[in-house]
Amino acid sequence: MLTIGQLAAYAGVTVRAVRHYHQIGLLPEPERDASGYRRYGATAAVSLIKIRTLADAGVPLSQISRMLEADASAFAEAIRTIDSQLRAEIERLQASRRHIARLTAGDSLALPPEVAAYLDRLRSIGVSERIVDAERDGWILVAARWPERIVEWMPGKVAQLDDPQVARLYRVLSEIFDDDVEDDPRLAEAADIMACLAEQAHAAGEVILGEEADDDLPHDLIDALAVESDARVERLRELMRERGWSGWNRMERLAEPPA
């Protein structure tokens, strides 16, 4: 006859596990002998080894009792069901690991890989991390509203970076927002470039990203995000209005430039 410690050691489990199995009714608890100790026989050892084997295989404790009592056919069917559940869980965990791996650079949080690649392209042309971070947060708002359109829009955004004016704009903005000059004269240069690009897009009849979706909220949030990130953005918007254009993200031509 075995003590609980001897039984646990023989079956390769802890005493705490044996007691837990008693509590949930998985392993019968023997009566105490005259000395006040519980003694376990060979049947208990066999049962505990079976329980440990099934538990180690991933069978939920709630299902082990039924499996121990099942005939060969029912046992095999239960094993197939559990195997299918484990396979699905493994696939879910593997997908989670792939997602976690994409987050290591930080850019993929809440963003598809196409946007992360675009942000890397910004870095490659010398755009500062502060501007890249602002772009990333803006794209998070866009992706949340139009997730199915991102793949469609990104090739055009990447192609724009081949335009020397666009590349120059990003570099000027990087210089401005990496410094702490309150009324930076380079803001005027940035406004000139932005107004020129807006004029070219307007003349070519290009549709502003998301314009056809008839939803102002994402654009309003992006405009607000820019202002919240740096108060100087408001000055840049004033300069754009002086040049006949409204907005930071969704620029629209004003009826008449302010006097």
Q: In 3-state terms, the chain is what percent helix, strand and coil (to 5)?
A: 70, 5, 30
Number of domains the chain contains: 3
In the predicted model, what is the mean pLDDT of residues 57-76?
A: 88
- Dihedral pair phi/psi, residue 253, rounded to 5°: -70, 130
If we measure between CA atoms, which residue out of 251, 257, 259 comes closest to residue 226?
Answer: 251
Do 128 and 152 belong together in one domain? Answer: yes
Q: Using the 8-state DSSP alphabet, how is residue 245 labeled?
A: E
In a domain, residue 32? The reply is yes
Of the segments 108-122, 166-180, 210-224, which one has the largest average pLDDT value? 166-180
Determine contact, residues 29/38, Cβ cutoff 8 Å: yes
Q: Give the CATH number, domain containing residue 36.
A: 1.10.1660.10
Residues 100 and 136 both lie in one domain = no
Whether residues 44 and 130 share a domain: the answer is no
Q: How far apart are CA 258 and CA 247, in angstroms?
A: 14
Q: What is the distance between the alpha carbons of residues 85 and 131, in angstroms, rounded to a whole number? A: 45
Instruction: Indicate whether 28 and 129 sit together in one domain.
Output: no
pLDDT at 247: 67
Question: Which of 46, 78, 105 is the C-terminal boundary of a domain?
Answer: 105
Judgement on whether residues 240 and 208 belong to the same structural domain of the protein: yes
Query: Do 149 and 248 share a domain, yes or no?
Result: yes
**Looking at the domain assignment, is residue 258 inside a domain?**
no
Tell me the two tokens of residue 216.
């102002």
Domain end point (choices 105, 126, 157): 105
118 and 50 within one domain: no
Average pLDDT on 27-49 reads: 89
Do 54 and 75 belong to one domain?
no
Q: State the average pLDDT over residues 70-93.
A: 88
**Residue 104's pLDDT is what?**
56
Is the pLDDT confidence value at 210 over 50? no
pLDDT range class, residue 101, cuts 50, 70, 90: low
Rounded average pLDDT over 80-85? 88
The whole-number average pLDDT for the span 37-55 is: 91
Instruction: Please report the pLDDT score of residue 70 as a whole number.
Output: 85
- Both 125 and 245 in a single domain? yes
Element (H, E) at 46: helix 42-56
Question: Does residue 259 belong to any structural domain of this protein?
Answer: no
95/218 same-domain check: no
Same-domain pairing of 95 and 110: no
Domain hosting residue 92, numbered range: 70-105
Q: What's the DSSP call for residue 105? A: G
- For residue 111, is pLDDT > 90? no
C-beta atoms surrounding 97 within 10 Å:
10
Give the gyration radius of the chain's Cα atoms: 33
Query: What CA–CA distance (Å, rounded) separates 88 from 83?
Result: 9
Asked if 49 and 121 sit in the same domain, the reply is no
- Domain for residue 101, yes or no? yes
Highest mean pLDDT: which range of 30-34, 69-73, 131-135, 214-218: 131-135
Bridge partner list, 253: 245
SS3 of residue 145 by DSSP = helix
Grouping H, G, I as helix, E, B as strand and the rest as coil, residue 2 is strand
- Asked whether residue 79 is domain-assigned, the answer is yes
Residue 154 identity (one-letter amino acid)? M
Classify residue 13: in a domain, yes or no: yes
Average of pLDDT values for 252-256?
A: 76
Residue 200 covered by a domain: yes
Using the predicted structure, report yes or no on whether residue 103 has a pLDDT greater than 90. Answer: no
Which has the higher per-residue pLDDT, 105 or 75?
Answer: 75
Global confidence as pTM: 0.58
pLDDT at 248 over 70: no
Residue 117 lies in a domain: yes
